[in-house]
Structure 1
């Protein structure tokens, strides 16, 4: 079990704390949570409201549909969550938002290597822009689509981080041969039975020749990436291109 001083901690600010741990309480993440390899706290933003109705939102300035989370209430919730921590290290403050920068495996690795994260889950039409600036929130997106709130996106981010923590996955190599770990999509996987509906396992994978298996997997990963994610392939191709020098 990791020491309390170094454990990776996720603090989630949400209007629906009962949604957690949800899927994070089962499988790898759930077992690691129960074992104390990481910690999760879901805090209700409404606890920082100041009126008897526990109001957290108001109408958009300038008009328009929906409601917006108030800057003063959310800022108070963020400050309260930070004040409750016993760790001296500064942790990222994230806001799950469809307008944020896309979450990448490299960013997940950075987050997993740190002390954890405070994650804000928006609702309604979003949150007051001033609290994003005032509290230095990093906006993060998990895709080009809109969810009802940030909770599901937060779960995806946390799961991606937790599985990389030491002791969570049985074999650390499992995390090294996955999609995006080397800038490529993962190669195809096969297992028993030897033949399924007339489709056999590629013969090279049962040859016992590890060098040929590695070469096949590399070629398949490159072909899949080129076909399905040309954006990733372009980046990978530039990285592989030999550097040229010019005479001065």
Structure 2
């Protein structure tokens, strides 16, 4: 796995901030950065913070701007200005459109899309002062091909792509990159909640024939955190399910 190699694109430990970093993909990403020697802060909401990890765990709900600001203050005090932001916190509330309430829709947008806006806006303050930064937004293949019952989730995740590309125009001259990772079916709590029928249907559309491991998503995030000339890109980590879409 890539996490076992030493970082070759800079010897100085970076200040890394990962939202939703207490489990699943977020935890795999946080561990990856810690493995290569970075100082890593992770946010968590309702679950317990990661135990026994060399990570700074911060309670933060990304739907609350004051909590976001406080989490950044604590991370900055401990690790210095954030150099790498991974906006991974998210959630789903699946329903067919005819059964979806406005709250079902807006709450998913607020967590997945507006939450990313809140943390990116806060992180950029320090990045502008430093004249350097890396932002990685965690989207989904649902953003690229849609999914029945996930119009709210797919819309939020698709919005991250437009957000990243707009920030690329705004921040590119300041050496602040913004890119998107779009995982497919990954071995996380969310995928384990699927029925066997749902799982097999999704796997039948995946050329790799298996779920991704969270570490494989972390591979893409690690690459983007070190890539200075990749900007506004969407990198699918989906076993070929989207075939480039």
Fold match (TM-score > 0.5)? no
Greater helix fraction, Structure 1 or Structure 2: 2
TM-score (norm: length of structure 2): 0.31
